Structure 1
């Protein structure tokens, strides 16, 4: 597709600010289906035949950009969703904050990088539902952990009878959260079980030593069914376990290390997988003990194991066969 024009869109809760790059015109619309339709009519009036080479570019703003993404995808109009930080760092020094100016900057960024455009594949509806349920589950688990810790400390410090109301209230909240978390787990498992493809991937991932249900779901959802990342190394970079060099000229010769800019939830889950793998996988345990015996750093060793677990996860799904523990065949 030859891109002839860019419309940059600044998405906010209630409005969409659109800017046509080469034409230099801008307009504001409501962030609703009717408002998006009005924007498309406005674009057609301004561009005419150039609509054939039009690309919409906007930032990922989570819930607020979902309606726009769904509309453009259904209408088969080309669009590109870009992280806000990527746009911010590409445009140099910018003073002030204005939605119309932001739309213009997004359009400029889209025009400069138009040769890099790759058609976006919208997540499957089931995966989108899974992601929302998983996000809610994560919040409830964090709340439950907070209440459990608070209740334990209060019982230790305050003692018994005079504070029973304080304890019973928090215990009731914990019981309620337990019930809701279990219901969410059941709903997520049901979504997977009803889809043969998702269920197949889920089953294959669980054959890898160290990977449990929560991590398997995370990998399926955040790779869009293993379609968004060309290799496990790309995903390793996304979750912050891929090492990068830290050198510059002759003065800076730092250690190779991971980058903080990452999906931290994925990094935490893979770290837990690595710890489990060291405990229950003879191969990983032997590898870990060998490196530690050689005086290697423990955390760098654990990071290597995180990458090994991730590589195996991608391999079993791409290959379509369960993981085989070859160590058990060694006599």
Structure 2
């Protein structure tokens, strides 16, 4: 694949600001399906190349970029969806900000890395629905946790007889959120059960002791069925559990630590998996206790276990066989 021209697109709620890198031509389009077709037609005309030599580059903006992704993917156009932070850091210091300037910067970024970019792989409809349901579940769980914490503090301080309505309303909200979370989880499980490939992945991942259903769904969705990350190490970096050195010359000798640039949800889920594995998996418990007895740092040990679990999840998917606990065969 030889990319000749780049179109940078700044995606917002209502508009698409497009910039052709070579000529600097700019045009704004409405962000809807009808005008997206016009945008593609304009891009082909201004670039003067075939669709197989034109690459569209834009930031991931969640719901607002969904129609653009679906249109370009459905028409077999080449495009790449890039994290905004990656574009921002690659271009150095930038002064000022508007949609036209952002489109130009995105086009410049695409031109600089065009030989490295790989065409975006659109997740299946099931994975897209799963991702949205996971987002809704996360919000519901957060709201429920907030009500539970508030109610607990109020019960400690306030007189229940004098605040019956206060306690009653919040109690009902917690019950309602419990019900809605259950409905969302049932729908996600149903979607997985109806897709043989996803069901196979789900069973393989949950065969690793310590990894539960919530984390398994997260891994499936954010790796797009284990197709977008070449190794578990890259996904560990994405989740913020990969340790990196911090040193320079002879004067700076900081401790090796994980980066704050991470998918915080994945990091949190893997932390809970590690804590669960220490409690329920004799192998992990023995490993944890041995390192602690040696005076090793608890968080460092916990992070190693997070990486071990993630590595095992990727391994069972690669082998297509469930995880086997070899410790039980040890003499």
TM-score with structure 1 setting the length: 0.98
The structural deviation recorded for 1:50 is 4.9
The structural deviation recorded for 1:47 is 2.9
Structure 1 residues 3 and 290: CA distance shift in structure 2, 3 A: same
Within a 5 Å distance, the mapping from 1:2-21 to structure 2 comes to 2-21=2-21
Q: Which runs of no fewer than 5 residues in structure 1 stay unpaired?
A: none
Structure 1 residues 52 and 272: CA distance shift in structure 2, 3 A: closer
Work out the CA distance in 1 between the residues paired with 2:274 and 2:188. Answer: 24
2:241 match: 241
Work out the CA distance in 2 between the residues paired with 1:24 and 1:217. Answer: 43
3-state SS of 2:115 partner: helix
The structural deviation recorded for 1:48 is 3.2
Structure 1 residues 52 and 304: CA distance shift in structure 2, 3 A: closer
Work out the CA distance in 2 between the residues paired with 1:305 and 1:39. Answer: 48
Work out the CA distance in 2 between the residues paired with 1:188 and 1:50. Answer: 41
The structural deviation recorded for 1:51 is 4.4
Are the aligned partners of 1:4 and 1:50 in contact in 2 as well (CA < 8 Å)? no
Work out the CA distance in 1 between the residues paired with 2:195 and 2:230. Answer: 23
Are 1:55 and 2:55 an aligned pair? yes
Are the aligned partners of 2:278 and 2:288 in contact in 1 as well (CA < 8 Å)? yes
2:330 match: 330
Work out the CA distance in 1 between the residues paired with 2:190 and 2:50. Answer: 46
1:148 match: 148
- Aligned pair count reads 331
Are 1:267 and 2:267 an aligned pair? yes
3-state SS of 1:89 partner: helix
Work out the CA distance in 2 between the residues paired with 1:207 and 1:190. Answer: 19
Provide the aligned C-alpha RMSD in A: 1.0
1:68 match: 68
1:138 match: 138
- CA deviation vs aligned residue, 1:301-320 (integer Å, no higher than 9, x gap): 11111111111111111111
TM-score with structure 2 setting the length: 0.98
The structural deviation recorded for 1:184 is 0.3
3-state SS of 2:76 partner: coil
Within a 5 Å distance, the mapping from 1:131-210 to structure 2 comes to 131-210=131-210
2:315 match: 315
Are the aligned partners of 1:80 and 1:120 in contact in 2 as well (CA < 8 Å)? yes
Work out the CA distance in 2 between the residues paired with 1:45 and 1:254. Answer: 53
3-state SS of 2:57 partner: strand
